[in-house]
Amino acid sequence: MTSRKAQLCLAVAAGCLAAISFPTSASAEPGRLQLLPGYQHVRLQGIDSIVGEIVKPDGLRISYEQGMLPKPGQPEVGGMFRDGAKHMPKAKRLWYREQTVQGQRVHLAMRNDEWLIVSFPQAGMNFSAKIESPEQLVDALLMILTYAQ
């Protein structure tokens, strides 16, 4: 990589990080998620986005990633939000729904391989979880839909 390209990459990464507000507590749930009993939040280290998991020992694992919202007309760079639910190809999903919850748009999709994808496009947030039972689907939705931008 040329020195000029490296400088440009660093400038873009610095801009991305400057635009993201990080919670003051390393364990704070994103968007004040209301966790069900037995679940815990684990903040992970992201490079150009905010990432983490909601986990229950020997059970459901919900991953999330929050990226920057792309500005109209600007090129997409690493760390930018892409609506995982809405942009999932129809051939790869069992179902897709849109709804407004707590005043914000929510896009939900279930992939053919039983992965639930929930996107909050106004907040740049994607949640995903491998669903192995109806109870896990209910737990995932009960927690994810409490997300407040």
**86: in domain:** yes
- pLDDT tens for 89-127 read 999 999 999 999 989 999 999 999 999 999 999 999 999
- pLDDT tens for 13-64 read 333 333 333 333 344 678 789 999 999 999 888 777 788 999 999 889 999 9
Nearest to 106 by CA among 88, 89, 90, 84: 84
**Helix (DSSP H) and strand (DSSP E) numbers for the chain:** 2, 7
**149: in domain:** no
**109: in domain:** yes
**11: in domain:** yes
Nearest to 128 by CA among 139, 117, 138, 112: 117
Helices assigned H by DSSP within the chain: 3-19, 134-144
**87: in domain:** yes
pTM equals 0.76
> Contact, 88 vs 72, CB < 8 A?
no
Domain count for the chain: 1
Tokens 């407040």, residue located: 148
The domain in which residue 12 lies consists of 3-144
**64: in domain:** yes
**31: in domain:** yes
- pLDDT tens for 65-99 read 998 888 887 777 777 888 999 999 999 999 999 99
